[in-house]
Amino acid sequence: MDFTIQHFIALAPLLITSATIIVVMLAIAWRRNHSQTFLLSVAGLNLALLSILPALKVAPLAVTPLLQIDSFACLYMALILVATLACVTLAHAYLGEGGTGYPGNREELYLLILMAAAGGLVLVSAQHLAGLFVGLELLSVPVYGLVAYAFFNKRSLEAGIKYMVLSAAGSAFLLFGMALLYAEAGTLSFSGIGHALAATGLPSPLAQMGLGMMLIGLAFKLSLVPFHLWTPDVYEGAPAPVAAFLATASKVAVFAVMVRLFQISPVASSGVLSTVLTVIAIASILFGNLLALTQSNLKRLLGYSSIAHFGYLLIALVASKGLAMEAIGVYLVTYVITSLGAFGVITLMSSPYKGRDADALYEYRGLFWRRPYLTAVLTVMMLSLAGIPLTAGFIGKFYIIATGVESHQWWLVGSLVLGSAIGVFYYLRVMVTLYLIEPNLRRVDAQLHWEQKAGGVMLLAIAVLAFFLGLYPQPLLTLVQQTGLAG
C-alpha cells in the first residue's frame, strides 16, 4: 500500500509518542537527569495530544489493514494521552528530588509509562486481531515493570509477579480465542469476522467459544468478576502513580477495543454471549461494591470500586444500541477524571518517598486539618465516584441508567441501583474520616517542593473539572456525540 501524507497525519499521535520514547531513551543514555526526563516526556505527550486535531480532519482513514483512525479512536487516544500526562506529573511529584526522593533510578519510570501509552494508542485504533494483540502486549509488558518499580518494597515485587502471571494467562486465553475465530471466519480483520458471523445467522459454537475466550482475556485486563482477584493486591503494591495509570489509561484502552470488537456485528453480542456479559456485569457490580465495604486501605478500596465501575460500563455494552455508545464515552471520561483525582491525592500524600505509600485509611484521619486542599479534592472525587448530583460521576451514571432503561435491561438497572446504594456508604466513610478531629491533633503544614505543587495544581484543576462537568456537561456530551463508532 502507498503511504500518503494523510496517513502520517492520521498516525501522528502514535508516531510522536514513539519518537518521544526514543528521545527519552537517548537522553537517559546520555545523562541521567530526573527533571529533564520529565520535561521531555510532558513535551512529547502534549505534542501527541495536539496532533489529534489534524488527525481528526483526515479521519476516518484505514492506515494499513491493522489500524483504523476514526473519530472514535481519536476520542480514546486523547483520553489515554491526558491520563498519561496526569500520571507522569504525579510520578514526578512522587519520585521527588535529591536525597529526599526515591532511592533507585527514577528516569526509567517515564520510559515505561510512555511505552504503555503507545500500546494503548495502538489498541484503540486496532481494526484487526493482530493489531489488537500487538497493542495489548505493548500496553501490558511495560506495566509489569511499572508495578514492581518500588523494588525494595516486598509488596510491590509481589504485585508485579502476580500481575505478570495472571496477565500472561489472560493473553493465552485471548490468543486461543483469536485462533478459534480465525478457524471459523478465515480472516483476522474485525469487519471480516463481522461479515462471516452475520452470513451464518447465529454464530457457530466455534465462533461463540472463540469470542467467549477473547472475552475472558479482556475481562482479566479489566478486572471483571470472576477474573478480578489480582486487582486489590496489584493496586496496593504498585506505586501510586502506576496504580493511577492502571486504573485509567490501561483500562480505557482495553474497554475501547472491546467496544469495537462487540460492535462489529450485532450477532457477536447476541445469544449466549449477551447472557454471559449480563451475568459478569451483575457479579462485578455486586462483588466490587460489597468487597469494598470491608476495606481499610484506600488503594484496595479504589481497586474494588473500579471492578464495580466497569460492571456499570458493561450495562451499556450489553444494551449496544441507542444511547449505548454515547453512555460509554461519557462514563469513561468521568471515571478517568475521578480516578486520577483520587489516586493523585494518595500520590501527594505518599511523597517524598518514604518506603510504603500512605494508603491506609487511618493516615487520612483529620486530613482536613493538615492538608485542606487535598481534602477538598478527595471529597469531590468520592462524591463523584458515588454518583452524587452536581459532580461528573452523576452524569456518567445517569447515562448508563438511561441506556439500561431504554433497552429494558431491568436486572442490570436494578443491580446498578443496588450497587450505587452500597457504594455511597463506603465513599462517605472515607469522606467522614477526612474531617474527624483527633484528640491530640497538631496542625502540621507539610513543606512542599515545586514538583509537588505542580501535582497539587493539577489535582485542583481535576476537582474543578469534575464539578464543572457535573453542573454543565454539554461540552462533554457534544464531544462524545461527534465520535460514534461510525467515525
What torsion, rounded to 10 degrees, do the Cα atoms 457, 460, 462, 463 define? 180
pLDDT at 332 over 50: yes
What is the model's pLDDT at position 360?
Answer: 83
Are 229 and 221 in contact by the 8 Å Cβ rule? The answer is no
Report yes or no on 486 lying in a domain: no
* 303 compared with 366, residue with greater pLDDT: 303
Residue 370 Cα distances to 268, 364, 365, 433, 443, angstroms: 53, 10, 10, 13, 6
Are 375 and 367 in contact by the 8 Å Cβ rule? The answer is yes
Joined grid coordinates for residue 462? 481535576
Q: How confident is the model at residue 59 (pLDDT cuts 50, 70, 90)?
A: confident
Contacts of 450 (CB under 8 A, 6+ apart): none
DSSP line for 257-272: HHHHHHHS-GGGGSTH
Count Cβ atoms within 10 A of the Cβ of residue 13 and give its class: 0-12 exposed, 13-18 middle, 19 or more buried. Answer: buried
pLDDT at 88 over 90: yes
Residue 189 Cα distances to 36, 67, 129, angstroms: 41, 10, 6
Contacts of 4 (CB under 8 A, 6+ apart): none
Report yes or no on 230 lying in a domain: yes
Joined grid coordinates for residue 417? 441501583
Report yes or no on 422 lying in a domain: yes
pLDDT at 173 over 90: yes
What is the model's pLDDT at position 234?
Answer: 92
What is the model's pLDDT at position 445?
Answer: 47
* Distance separating alpha carbons of residues 142 and 119, to the nearest angstrom: 9
What average pLDDT score do residues 266-270 get?
57
What average pLDDT score do residues 467-483 get?
85
pLDDT at 58 over 50: yes
What is the model's pLDDT at position 212?
Answer: 86
* Distance separating alpha carbons of residues 386 and 424, to the nearest angstrom: 5
Q: What is the DSSP letter of 370?
A: T
What is the model's pLDDT at position 487?
Answer: 41
Q: What is the 3-state secondary structure (H, E, C) of 216-228?
A: HHHHHHHCCCCCC
What is the model's pLDDT at position 449?
Answer: 58
Q: Is 67 helix (H, G, I), strand (E, B) or coil?
A: strand
* Distance separating alpha carbons of residues 53 and 48, to the nearest angstrom: 10
Contacts of 71 (CB under 8 A, 6+ apart): 56, 59, 60, 482, 483, 484, 487
Residue 30: what are its φ and ψ, rounded to 5°?
Answer: -75, -50
* Distance separating alpha carbons of residues 142 and 124, to the nearest angstrom: 17
What is the model's pLDDT at position 486?
Answer: 45
- 186-205: per-residue pLDDT in tens? 888 888 888 887 777 666 78
Highest mean pLDDT among 7-11, 56-60, 177-181: 177-181
Contacts of 157 (CB under 8 A, 6+ apart): 148, 151, 237
What average pLDDT score do residues 328-356 get?
84
Joined grid coordinates for residue 258? 472491546
Are 310 and 419 in contact by the 8 Å Cβ rule? The answer is no
Are 350 and 395 in contact by the 8 Å Cβ rule? The answer is no
What is the model's pLDDT at position 408?
Answer: 84
| 258: nearest Cα among 69, 379, 129, 427 | 129
Are 127 and 73 in contact by the 8 Å Cβ rule? The answer is no
What is the model's pLDDT at position 97?
Answer: 64
Highest mean pLDDT among 51-65, 392-406, 440-454, 468-482: 392-406
What is the model's pLDDT at position 266?
Answer: 58
Residue 457: what are its φ and ψ, rounded to 5°?
Answer: -60, -40
Highest mean pLDDT among 207-211, 263-267, 383-387: 383-387
Joined grid coordinates for residue 262? 462487540
Instruction: Name the one residue in this structure whose C-alpha cell is 476537582.
Output: 463
What is the model's pLDDT at position 192?
Answer: 85
What average pLDDT score do residues 113-140 get?
92
Give residue 452's identity as a one-letter amino acid code. Answer: Q
pLDDT at 396 over 80: yes
What is the model's pLDDT at position 439?
Answer: 63
pLDDT at 308 over 80: yes
What average pLDDT score do residues 113-120 get?
94
Domain boundaries, position 312: 5-481
Q: What is the 3-state secondary structure (H, E, C) of 419-430?
A: HHHHHHHHHHHH
What is the model's pLDDT at position 309?
Answer: 93
What share of the chain has pLDDT > 90, as a percent? 41
- 434-469: per-residue pLDDT in tens? 888 766 655 554 555 555 677 788 889 999 998 898
Contacts of 322 (CB under 8 A, 6+ apart): 403, 406, 407
- Number of folded domains that form the chain: 1
pLDDT at 137 over 80: yes
pLDDT at 170 over 80: yes
First to last CA, the chain: 22
* Distance separating alpha carbons of residues 390 and 282, to the nearest angstrom: 26
Rounded-to-5 percentages of helix, strand, coil across the chain: 75, 0, 20
| 284: nearest Cα among 419, 399, 408, 404 | 419
What is the model's pLDDT at position 117?
Answer: 94
Other C-beta atoms closer than 10 Å to the C-beta of 237 total: 25
What is the model's pLDDT at position 111?
Answer: 93
pLDDT at 352 over 60: no
